[in-house]
Amino acid sequence: MSTSLPRTPSFNLAGKRALVAGASSGIGVGCAVALCEAGASVTLVVRSADSLHDLQSQMREQGWDATACVLDVTDISATRDMINKQDPFDILVNSAGMARHGASLDTSIEDFDAVSQLNIKAGYFLNQAVAKRLIETGKSGSLMTISSQMAVVGGIDRAVYCATKHAAEGYTKSQAIEWGPHQIRVNTICPTFVRTALSQSTFANPERKKWIESKIKLGRVAEIEDIMGAVVFLASDASAMITGTSLLIDGGWTAD
C-alpha cells in the first residue's frame, strides 16, 4: 500500500508584498534583496533619500520589483497614512533601529528617549499599522523585527539598547498571541555582531574584535548573508507554524 510523501512548504514569495523599514544599508539591504530574490515585491523605507534611489536602481537592474519610500517611522501618523493608502503588506521586516552605548551611570534622558522612540515605540506601532490593514482585508501575514542577541542577555555599556530589545521581544509575543487567530505571525530575528559599515569601527579595535570572536562559538562574526536566509524562511510558508518567538543567529553566543 503506497502512502503520500510529504512535500516541503514553499519558500517562494511571488505575489507577496513586503515592506522593509531601515532598508538603506547593512542588514536592511540584505533583507530587501533576500525578499526580492524570493519573488516578493518590496517597498524600501528609509529616513533619508541620500542612498535610497541608488539602491532602488540597483535592485531594478536585477529585474526585481523595488519601490522607494522616504519616511521616518518615528512619525507614527505619517507611517500610518502611508500604510493605509496602500494595499496591505503580506510581509514586514522592521530593520530600523539605533544604539547609543555607554555606561549605565552616564545614560542621559535624551539618549534613553531617542533609542526607545525608535526601537520600541516606532516598532510597536509599525507592527500595529501593518497588522490592521491585513485584518481589515482578511489576509494573513508575517511580521518580523530585526532585534539582537542582546534581547536575551545583558551587555556592558548596553543597558538602554538591551532594554529596548527585551521590550521588542515582549510586544512581539503579545502581538503574536492577539493576532494569531487572524493568521498573522509575529517574530524577531536576533543576530550577533554583524559585519556592516556601521560596525567596522568596532572590529577595527583588536581587543574588542578578539573578545567578540571569543564569545561567538563559531569563531567569527556574522555577515549580512547570514541573516538573509532567515528572513525568507520567516516570510514564507516554510515557517507557517512559527510565531511569537525569536530566531537567534548568534553563532552560539547565548548558548552558555
For residue 7, being part of any structural domain is answered with no
For residues 146 and 27, is the Cβ–Cβ distance under 8 A? yes
Domain carrying residue 60? 17-195+223-247
> What is the DSSP code string of 39-71?
T-EEEEEES-STTHHHHHHHHHHTT--EEEEE-
Residues 6+ apart with CB under 8 A from 7: none
For residue 41, being part of any structural domain is answered with yes
Cell of 24: 538603506
Cell of 16: 507577496
For residue 217, being part of any structural domain is answered with no
Note down pLDDT in tens along the chain; length 256 residues: 567 999 999 999 999 999 999 998 899 999 999 999 999 999 999 988 887 888 999 999 999 999 999 999 999 999 999 999 999 999 999 999 999 999 999 999 999 999 999 999 999 999 999 999 999 999 999 999 999 999 999 988 999 999 999 999 999 999 999 999 999 999 999 999 998 877 777 778 888 888 888 999 999 999 999 999 999 999 999 999 999 999 999 999 999 8
* Sheet bearing 184-191, strands edge to edge: 66-70, 41-46, 17-21, 91-94, 141-146, 184-191, 246-249
How far is Cα 147 from Cα 191, in angstroms, rounded to an integer?
A: 7
For residue 123, being part of any structural domain is answered with yes
For residue 208, being part of any structural domain is answered with no
For residue 254, being part of any structural domain is answered with no
The catalytic residue positions are 161
How far is Cα 37 from Cα 33, in angstroms, rounded to an integer?
A: 6
* Count of domains observed in the chain: 1
For residue 151, being part of any structural domain is answered with yes
For residue 55, being part of any structural domain is answered with yes
Instruction: Give the CATH number of the domain where residue 29 resides.
Output: 3.40.50.720
Cell of 98: 539605533
pLDDT of residue 2: 64
For residue 106, CA distances in Å to 115, 151, 156, 159, 160 come to: 15, 21, 13, 11, 11
Report how far apart the first and last C-alpha atoms of the chain are (Å, whole number): 48
> What is the DSSP code string of 171-195?
HHHHHHHHHGGGTEEEEEEEE--B-
For residues 36 and 42, is the Cβ–Cβ distance under 8 A? yes
